[in-house]
Amino acid sequence: MSSETPAKPLIPLIVIAGPTATGKTALALALADRLRPAWEAEVVSADARQIYRLMDITTAKPTAAESARLPHHLLDVVWPDETLTLAEYQRLANAAIAEVWARGRLPLLVGGAGLYIRAVVDGLAIPEVAPQPELRAELEMLLAKEGVATLHARLAALDPVAAERIDARNPRRLIRALEVCLVTGKPFSEQQGARPAPYRPLFFGLNMERGALYDRADARIAAMLAAGLIAETEALLARGYGWELPSMSSLGYREVGAYLRGEMTLDEAITRFKLATHGYIRRQLTWFRRDERINWLAAALPSGALADQVAERLSPWLDM
């Protein structure tokens, strides 16, 4: 008779990914409605900016009504001057998914942060190095003086493998990789890997024709401005959150900040916001297209029709 402990059943996890403005939240809401009464669902957010409190408009955070209709986890986790490391996000997301499933509900991992999704679904082994404020300040100063290319060159000298993997235009990830290299004395890439995750994931991705997606993103930016993005940014400044914070240098706040400091007109800031968003969409698509597990859906379709397509694939999968 075997003395081995039976393996725990894997948790079914629906992943809804894709670039910004493709309607991931709308699909999650429609899918939750479609699954009732057989299943109640809850969302675990995989968004690197919705973690911040007080930052609601430019992060396109679900409204109170949407969260009441479909519970969301990992929104408003830290203040704008606080840091949430990838390892901390991974722990929180794993705990939220386990808790949702323990209550007999179906977890949905929804967002556009590809690294967050991989950290959870693929069980990435993440270096346990706490943020180093003084070192980060030095690297931020280097970034301000010499630009992101200098950061990338420095990482390439310490860890060419990590430098090849990390987007040379992403200063946050470059700074984190340098931080780990310099604190541990070991290449960042050697401290990464993967371990089995307790999930049985089913991936869906939303995409649409590039020009139409840019138009949708531009319309979303106009809606953000109409909803009070400038006032929200001013309120954050009034609370003492400065431009040097990573949260305040994210899309939307960065461009509004340039306008508020008198560095450009509002029209120029809006144009820059749109172009930066288009670039972000391209980088997201480059990331997600590498993942062959994703079942791509046409984001131009109504969310109800998309939910029907997803539900058709879910039936046999949930019965496995």
Burial label for 107, CB within 10 Å (0-12, 13-18, 19+), is buried
Tokens standing for residue 245? 């914070």
Helix (H, G, I), strand (E, B) or coil at 288: helix
Q: Supply the CATH number for residue 176's domain.
A: 1.10.20.140
CA separation for the pair 172, 176 (Å, rounded): 6
Does any domain span residue 295?
A: yes
Indicate if 178 and 245 belong to the same structural domain: no
- The predicted pLDDT at position 73 comes to 98
Domain that holds residue 268: 11-126+194-318
Tokens standing for residue 307? 């939910």
Q: List, for residues 210-260, the tens digit of each pLDDT value.
A: 999 999 999 999 999 999 999 999 999 999 999 999 999 999 999 999 999
Q: Is the pLDDT of residue 5 over 60?
A: no
Indicate if 150 and 121 belong to the same structural domain: no
Among 97, 85, 14, 27, CA closest to 51: 85
Does any domain span residue 5?
A: no
- The predicted pLDDT at position 167 comes to 76
Q: List, for residues 256-302, the tens digit of each pLDDT value.
A: 999 999 999 999 999 999 999 999 999 999 999 999 999 999 999 99
- Cβ–Cβ under 8 Å, residues 73 and 42: yes
Indicate if 165 and 278 belong to the same structural domain: no
Q: What is the mean pLDDT of residues 72-79?
A: 98
Does any domain span residue 274?
A: yes
Q: List, for residues 9-44, the tens digit of each pLDDT value.
A: 999 999 999 999 999 999 999 999 999 999 999 999
Q: Which residues contact 14 (CB under 8 A, 6 or more apart)?
A: 31, 41, 106, 107, 108, 109, 201, 202, 204, 310, 314
Per the model's pLDDT, the better-predicted residue between 96 and 165 turns out to be 96
Indicate if 153 and 18 belong to the same structural domain: no
Tokens standing for residue 78? 């830290």
Q: What percent of the chain has pLDDT over 90?
A: 72
**Residue 221 CA to its chain's centroid (Å):** 18
Indicate if 41 and 139 belong to the same structural domain: no
Q: Is the pLDDT of residue 3 over 60?
A: no
CA separation for the pair 239, 314 (Å, rounded): 46
- The predicted pLDDT at position 220 comes to 98
What single-letter DSSP state applies at residue 244? T
- The predicted pLDDT at position 317 comes to 92
- The predicted pLDDT at position 1 comes to 46
Q: Which residues contact 115 (CB under 8 A, 6 or more apart)?
A: 48, 86, 173, 287
Instruction: Answer whether 0.95 is exceeded by the pTM.
Output: no
Indicate if 182 and 201 belong to the same structural domain: no
Does any domain span residue 232?
A: yes
Looking at the structure of the chain, the number of domains it has is: 2
Question: Rounded to 10 degrees, what is the CA torsion of 97, 101, 103, 106?
Answer: 100
Does any domain span residue 210?
A: yes
Does any domain span residue 6?
A: no
What single-letter DSSP state applies at residue 247? G
Q: Is the pLDDT of residue 133 over 90?
A: no
Please report the DSSP string for 150-219 in residue order.
HHHHHHHHH-HHHHHHS-TT-HHHHHHHHHHHHHHSS-GGGG-EE---SEEEEEEEEE--HHHHHHHHHH
Q: Supply the CATH number for residue 255's domain.
A: 3.40.50.300
Indicate if 232 and 97 belong to the same structural domain: yes
